[in-house]
Amino acid sequence: MDSMTTVNKMEHSTEEVPQIPANAMLDILSRLPVKILCRFRCVSKLWRNYLSDPYFFKLHHHHQSQQKPYFVFMSLFCDFDHRVSPSDVDLEFDTTVHLSSANNEGQPMSEFTKQVKVDCLLKISLLPSHNNLICLSTKNHIYICNPSIQEFFELPAGSPFESFSGSVGFGYIPSTEEYKVVRLFYRQLDLDYSNNCVEGCEILTIRTSTSYVSGSCSSWKVLEEDCPYVTDNFMAFVNGSLYWRIDSMCDKKDEDDYILSFDLEAEKFWILPPPPCVKVHGWFWLVEIAEELWLSQNGDDPLILDMWMLRDWDVFVWVKEYSIDLRTMDAIGTLPSWYSGHPIDFRNEEILILSFGERLDYYNIKTKTFTHLGYVNHPFRHCYYRESFLSLRSI
């Protein structure tokens, strides 16, 4: 149904409607949050009709794509004693995931809870796509969620090989209107981290329709090319590619290789050169902030947090934008020398930093001062998403 059909239905309906031109009404409504629009569907049969029309969904998707994405926080509520012995590491437990989202002004948008299965170490990842869906992964389970309409379901199981929660990547390709779930798994696993660690790679594709409300899901496809390195548990998604830090505990083919990337559209691995500091200090964080790739690291002084941004994608030039003294976080000045933190978001002239001990603080770039926000439940994860009516039931 095109826009004129929808408009004509509205203008010639016998039901009472506001004295606003139909095109203007659709444009206004398409800028509202999904939660409010779902309530408006109950106003009348007419409102339900044009709030369910494919043209309206396209218009809503267009406006959302022009807005900054919302921020999603995830925390766990555990109802079991997870202080178990290492021999119980293969056991799984039901636990409750709490997801809450906020807009750029910090106003709450939605929140809901869902039960998932985790291992005794509570390993769970919340994966960014910077689009309408988000993905959660645990050791043996991968879940897809649309926070806007609070739909949540588990993806089909992949290959029967060992994997970890952080070995899953998720992202959206605008050119093909596809989401891709990338799972790295161990064809052979040596717990001593020798050269016998061989990672395979498989991909599941979720295709969306042109109306952005339905889609389809493929089967898992195993790539012929193995993953060249073992990765750690934290992933960033920027500019159509996934980025992992290469696990420094495993033997590397090249001592200068620290960042592994996977191009979602080409389905190819490649190596990203790091800033010079990483050649000296191997521990660092990769994070997507404001759709840019950032690397943060505690350098020679462990209480100084350096933040690097990948400024030039063609020749891979990293620029150090900030050096933050974490000692100013504590008015008493008693932070231990091993204290660390990493950035997770920007808000105007402030950087949101998650510190050791699950502490959240805003750091003001101009005044170089901290504003303490509180502590979060462990484990804490975050990502971004844009609102949509994309229904997981159709997938």
How confident is the model over 165-219, as pLDDT tens digits?
668 999 999 888 899 999 988 876 555 544 556 678 999 999 988 777 888 888 9
* Residue 395 is assigned to a structural domain of this protein: no
Q: Is the Cβ–Cβ distance between 138 and 90 less than 8 Å?
A: no
Q: Is the Cβ–Cβ distance between 219 and 151 less than 8 Å?
A: no
* Residue 237 is assigned to a structural domain of this protein: yes
Continuous segment of H or E residues that includes residue 45: helix 45-50
User: Exposure pattern of 289-312 as b/e (b: 16+ CB <10 Å)?
Assistant: beebbbbbbbeeeebebbbbbbee
Q: Is the Cβ–Cβ distance between 146 and 390 less than 8 Å?
A: yes
The range of the structural domain enclosing residue 28 comes to: 3-65
* Residue 393 is assigned to a structural domain of this protein: no
pLDDT digits (tens, 9 = 90+) for 343-363: 888 877 889 888 766 788 889
**pLDDT score at 165:** 60
- Which residues are registered as beta bridge partners of 98? 75, 113
**pLDDT score at 372:** 84
Domain edge (last residue) among 19, 50, 65:
65
For the chain, the average pLDDT equals 80
**pLDDT score at 361:** 87
User: Exposure pattern of 167-180 as b/e (b: 16+ CB <10 Å)?
Assistant: bbbbbbbeeeebbb
**pLDDT score at 78:** 65
End-to-end CA distance of the chain: 22
**pLDDT score at 88:** 58
**pLDDT score at 280:** 56
**pLDDT score at 332:** 45
Q: Is the Cβ–Cβ distance between 209 and 196 less than 8 Å?
A: no
* Residue 229 is assigned to a structural domain of this protein: yes
The answer, yes or no, to whether the previous bond of 108 is cis (omega within 30 of 0) is: no
Within 10 angstroms of residue 337's Cβ, the number of other Cβ atoms is 7
- Same domain as 48, residue 151: no
- Same domain as 120, residue 57: no
- Same domain as 336, residue 291: yes
* Residue 127 is assigned to a structural domain of this protein: yes
- Same domain as 243, residue 163: yes
- Same domain as 26, residue 89: no
- Same domain as 156, residue 229: yes
Continuous segment of H or E residues that includes residue 8: helix 3-11
Low-confidence ranges of the chain (pLDDT < 50): 1, 14, 17, 193-194, 332
**pLDDT score at 46:** 82
Q: Is the Cβ–Cβ distance between 193 and 231 less than 8 Å?
A: no
- Same domain as 273, residue 222: yes
pLDDT digits (tens, 9 = 90+) for 198-207: 678 999 999 9
Q: Which residues have C-beta within 8 Å of that of residue 241, sequence separation ≥ 6?
A: 171, 261, 262, 263, 264
Provide the CATH number for the domain around residue 294. 2.120.10
- Same domain as 185, residue 111: yes
- Same domain as 237, residue 117: yes
Q: Is the Cβ–Cβ distance between 293 and 309 less than 8 Å?
A: yes
* Residue 391 is assigned to a structural domain of this protein: no
- Same domain as 269, residue 378: yes
How does strand 241-246 pair with strand 231-238? antiparallel
Domain edge (last residue) among 40, 65, 90:
65
The three-state (H, E, C) secondary structure of 98-122, written as one string: EEEEECCCCCEEEEEEEEEEEECCC
CA distance 183 to 203: 6
CA distance 65 to 266: 23
* Residue 226 is assigned to a structural domain of this protein: yes
* Residue 158 is assigned to a structural domain of this protein: yes
CA distance 9 to 12: 6
CA distance 197 to 388: 40
Q: Could you tell me the pTM of the whole model? A: 0.83
- Same domain as 156, residue 224: yes
- Same domain as 133, residue 46: no
Q: How many domains does the chain have?
A: 2
Minimal CA–CA distance to 199: which of 172, 153, 152, 166?
166
Phi, psi of 115 (to 5 degrees): -90, 135
**pLDDT score at 2:** 56
For residue 109, CA distances in Å to 33, 163, 216 come to 8, 34, 27
Domain edge (last residue) among 65, 83, 102:
65
Phi, psi of 107 (to 5 degrees): -80, 135
CA distance 334 to 327: 8
